[in-house]
Amino acid sequence: MAANLIPELPADTQVWQEINEEGQSVYYLVYQLPPEAAALSPGLENFTFRYKVTDLKEIAQIGTTVTPDVIVRKNGEVYDIEGNTNIDVNDYVDSFYFGKHTQLASIITASGGEIDKNSVGYEYFIEALEQEAKDKPYLFSKNAQGQYDYLAVVLEAAKEGRTARDSELRQTTWWKTHTEAERQAANNEHQDPATFAANKKRIREDIIARMLAAGITQLDGKLIDTIVHKVSYGTFTDNDLTKTINKLANPLIRFELDPEVKAALEGKTLQTIELTKQIEDTINAILGPGVADKFNLNQLLADYQNNPTLFQQEFLPKLQDQFQAKFSQYEGTNVKAYEDIAPGFRTEWEGITGALPDETTAEWLQFVATNDAGERQDIAFGAAAKTGSEAYKNKVIADMEGVFGKAGARSTGGGRFGFWAY
């Protein structure tokens, strides 16, 4: 490593001077990933990358000079090197150009201080990928063997000085498990990043305009960025966007926000939001829909994070006891959760009424609380009468036809009422 380098650079920085046939020089900061990088993706070890330096003064500490570690003389397709380095000249020739050295300083800024002065190029590389993956989650997607197969394809293409081919990306797990809209967005970004960025800007402007039109005057940048990302990368349809904006404008609307959107809205991490949602879903699965609203979910989350074992061994059994107290016909049985019984009742209700139940109503609770099939039919039919469902109308017509006969099929003789036709 060259001496007198500014502290923003990795500890294993090598300065290479490349001289062409005309004697013109260009400087690069060169790095190579260690064997440990194979954990990210097989073949990633020895991956070599570089950053351009216009003037060595830009990377020298004040009052000092920097001398190149390696000199590369280029003569046609032949590269001769001078200096002490562990990086093979062929790896250098095939190295991936990441941009200007100032991007290394930006990685430090983006890391929030997690990259210190003793960090090596590998750590910078991983941090840069992690930052990139915030907008491109597919980069760190894995196959069934736990390998970063998408990343492997992209980096292999980068080493060869090209973008990844569609035929290569189609073989990755991420490509196979995501929608056409998501795949197309990823492909567009690979093929034409400038147009993709411009479209992303247009989407952002459209979202802001729609939020303002919905009466949302407090615009949070992080929240907007999250929604823009969802739309840009194909995970949100226009219908998803409309419902999200409506929910943000009116929190009373019965619509569950996307976890990432909710996290941005509440200023929490996605992990926290998802874990809270899991606790909420567990409570509702045991006690019934909407019951979780009566619990302090933030406190339950804290309790779980503090002692997951206690949560599993004490809190969940208490919920099961509450279920059997609420639905006493199951007391002393192995039926300990609402979702153990709900599927069958839903099917029965739909068969009677022609529609799925509103599981928050008193009628539904009465329906699942009785073992009397006739009583359940009366309850469900009564609920259908209130809503005027098609099933209710059809049953009324059928009952009337059972008494009076079908229209157009009545007797023209005396009839059942004793009238004679003349």
Residue 69 pLDDT exceeds 90: yes
Which region among 110-119, 197-206, 253-262 has the lowest average model confidence (pLDDT)?
Answer: 110-119
The pLDDT-based confidence of 267 (bands split at 50, 70, 90) is: confident
Residue 404's pLDDT is what? 46
CA distance 383 to 355: 11
The pLDDT-based confidence of 289 (bands split at 50, 70, 90) is: confident
To which residue do tokens 């609402």 refer?
Answer: 338
CA distance 185 to 178: 11
Helix (H) or strand (E) holding 71: strand 70-75
The pLDDT-based confidence of 113 (bands split at 50, 70, 90) is: low
Three-state DSSP class for residue 219: coil
DSSP state of 356: -
Strand 25-32 versus strand 14-19 pairing type: antiparallel
Residue 355's pLDDT is what? 81
To which residue do tokens 């492997």 refer?
Answer: 152
Contact between 211 and 219 under an 8 Å Cβ cutoff? The reply is yes
Contact between 13 and 85 under an 8 Å Cβ cutoff? The reply is no
The pLDDT-based confidence of 210 (bands split at 50, 70, 90) is: very high
Residue 269 pLDDT exceeds 80: no
Beta strands in 78-169 (DSSP E): 78-83, 96-100
Q: Which is nearest to 203 in space by CA: 240, 230, 181?
A: 230
- Which pair of tokens denotes residue 206? 């459209």
Residue 397's pLDDT is what? 45
The pLDDT-based confidence of 389 (bands split at 50, 70, 90) is: low
Q: Average the pLDDT over 110-137 and give the result.
A: 78
The separation between the first and the last C-alpha atoms of the chain, rounded to the nearest angstrom, is 118
Contact between 49 and 61 under an 8 Å Cβ cutoff? The reply is no
Q: Percentage of the chain with pLDDT > 70?
A: 89
Q: What is the pTM of this model?
A: 0.49
Q: Residue ranges per domain, the chain?
A: 14-122, 194-254, 270-324, 338-404
CA distance 126 to 287: 44
3-state secondary structure 22-46: CCCEEEEEEEECCHHHHHCCCCCCC
Reading across the β-sheet that carries 96-100, which strands appear in turn? Answer: 78-83, 70-75, 14-19, 25-32, 48-53, 96-100
**177-215 per-residue burial string, b: 16 or more CB within 10 A, e: under 16:** ebeeebbebbbbbbeeeeebeebbeebbeebeebbeeee
Residue 204 pLDDT exceeds 90: yes
Residue 254's pLDDT is what? 86
Residue 417's pLDDT is what? 35
Q: How many CB atoms lie under 10 A from the CB of residue 168?
A: 17
Which region among 119-128, 202-211, 230-239, 408-417 has the lowest average model confidence (pLDDT)?
Answer: 408-417
Residue 31's pLDDT is what? 92
Which residue type does 299 have? Q
Residue 132's pLDDT is what? 77
The pLDDT-based confidence of 422 (bands split at 50, 70, 90) is: very low
The pLDDT-based confidence of 112 (bands split at 50, 70, 90) is: low
Residues in the chain: 422
Provide the mean pLDDT of the chain.
Answer: 83
To which residue do tokens 């406190």 refer?
Answer: 299
At 140-185, the pLDDT tens digits run: 888 877 778 888 888 777 766 677 888 888 888 888 888 888 888 8
CA distance 82 to 391: 87
At 2-47, the pLDDT tens digits run: 788 888 888 899 999 999 888 899 999 999 988 888 877 777 777 8
- Output 131 or 419, whichever has higher pLDDT: 131
DSSP code string of 261-330: HHHHHHT--HHHHHHHHHHHHHHHHHH-TTGGGGS-HHHHHHHHHH-HHHIIIIIHHHHHHHHHHHSGGG
For residue 335, report the phi and psi dihedrals to the nearest 5 degrees.
-85, 110
Q: Which is nearest to 50 in space by CA: 159, 149, 133, 150?
A: 159
CA distance 138 to 233: 10
The pLDDT-based confidence of 419 (bands split at 50, 70, 90) is: very low
At 215-263, the pLDDT tens digits run: 998 888 889 999 998 999 898 999 999 999 999 999 999 898 998 898 8
Residue 124 pLDDT exceeds 80: yes
Beta-carbon contacts of 96 under 8 Å, excluding residues fewer than 6 positions away, are: 47, 48, 49, 50, 155, 158, 159
Residue 161's pLDDT is what? 65
The pLDDT-based confidence of 91 (bands split at 50, 70, 90) is: confident
Q: Average the pLDDT over 71-96 and give the result.
A: 87
